[in-house]
Structure 1
């Protein structure tokens, strides 16, 4: 077996984009059921929003030129001729030297072209004292300024969040066509792995931690998850179980068995699942070097390292990229923040390092404290809230340096 034709992190992400193909099955869902699904078509704006000129402030609709030169020391004077009620048309138009009260969101009367904020004027028994001049279009939302009929509202490949659902509702769109969500299958392998519910451990046994961690991440991303259980170190058994799981899922994840060893059949078994087979076996990264990525016909297969921290970081990086592409997402949104590192972190050039960190705030600044430890330590995951990347070109980061932090959300 050829082991570790190591790829860089950038090469790995590029290969994922080239090799993974989105699920082609679509479905039409009612709007309230479409949250976190990915659009399978462009959505075109049907009608202008707003479809009338609307005030963005509480104040008075005026002709802007009537306010020119107004100031605190020399106010302008306008006659108040009425009031616009919410949801109703103005009672009449605004003429020269006139003003009409309009609440936020109300319709501007004909003849007016600007709004004077209520803070900048004073109504004294129908005589409006204006203490600041305004410009044409000021504090006014024009017809179609928010959404213009005929333009693209949402593009194919957009993941529907609550704000996109609201935008669709504003157009009276009650159902949308979306890509089917992928179902992710998971198998653990290794003679030492035992079920999570096991009461007593024998020497050398380990509960199936990765199934819980990876399964929770999949569900957190809003996808289906099937836990296939534990496979002992038997090539025949692993091959049988992986083929069974691949039949009923859209993506298969294997944990453990990706490093060199006499009982390691993972690559050979994955290759047997279908063409084109393994395209990444080893990434120049720490932790997580023995990572496997493959494509069995139209289904991705991911081989994760057995150590919990390695498995979680690799799945956050490459697993997320795979399932995002599988869903047809046009782009992947990474949850980032920025913080100052609390200590020097050395790194070896030629390898990308990912360091778990704890975030805390002090004197109105955010800091990232490295949680250092071996990749098999579960406690480093519990203590960490994100990770920082040290690129393969770098020899490390210095204390006090501002760095981007990928959040574990």
Structure 2
């Protein structure tokens, strides 16, 4: 049986965790700080739990340079839960802001019992103006747009860009910004910064979405699979969310970084009855950002053990890279270049799936065409050989097949070198 040190796991998530972090977590699971109880047994209402949350928030802010006017929330439900949460919360924000504009135009003071003419104007605005924009560049952004259509109706969802339209019906490119059909005043513009299934990553923040003063746009981004791997312009975003299980920790915690202005009392107290009257669903309270923020992520029972693991990953990253995320970015790019260079050196044996301009540093997706017997047999042989030398988790997503090497932060430079050498040796082997 192989030892942990013998295996390099390139799975897309849950992903590899640093061994020393797991060892620390294992000890904490049995007896945390000499308390005689494991961390998973301590109350989430305890001072101990609060300290873990606050320390992890502080370290995350230090690592990513999160400004003071942003709040960090620890939630549950994963990225898929946030597909719903972002809709519920940002639509409520849009309704509140539109209501305030109508009140000002009509010269009416705000109150719990709004005059009928205000309700009518607000209903008209919802029916005619409410839109949520989605940039569909892969499987996850597609799922997000579909969930929004399920929740509030397809008439309110605008797919501003669909990458399949410029790539023969498949994902693998990002449409030029000049072709995006953005709404005039959307409740939010959503995109997924890195598509794990399709190996597509935005090269940087879209210029067309750059801040234009206090009026927006409200930009929501899913960074589940590339967070902590490169510097990001936090202030350009209204909401950043990500599951922990790729670069931050273990499955069970979802992080939301949100502008505090979106948590204002006026937004939090948008009447549920008003939303219902307008035909807009009220989301579950455990997905309401203002409620989670007010309770410092402890409205319901949070897995403190999973937050602890995330905190240990952050501490290790801060100790490893004095220049914080910039150091990790340099390493991530170096690892990705090694692997892509090996693939590009043998076009007769490999085909990288996405366009070169949008290749993901985190999820390297490719097909193997080395053997004369075809792609299927080539990939079976590639996977069999990789497992024999301890390179595991390389099988592509079930929906697209192929090979996928997930180059997350926990993958060492030595592991990336080992994979690139295997890519080279397989290509040099017999073709039958």
Normalised to the residue count of structure 2, the TM-score between the two structures is 0.24
Larger strand share, 1 or 2: 1
More helix by share: 2
Higher RCO (C-alpha 8 Å, min separation 6): 2
Instruction: Calculate the TM-score normalised by the size of structure 1.
Output: 0.25
Q: Which one has a bigger Cα radius of gyration?
A: 1
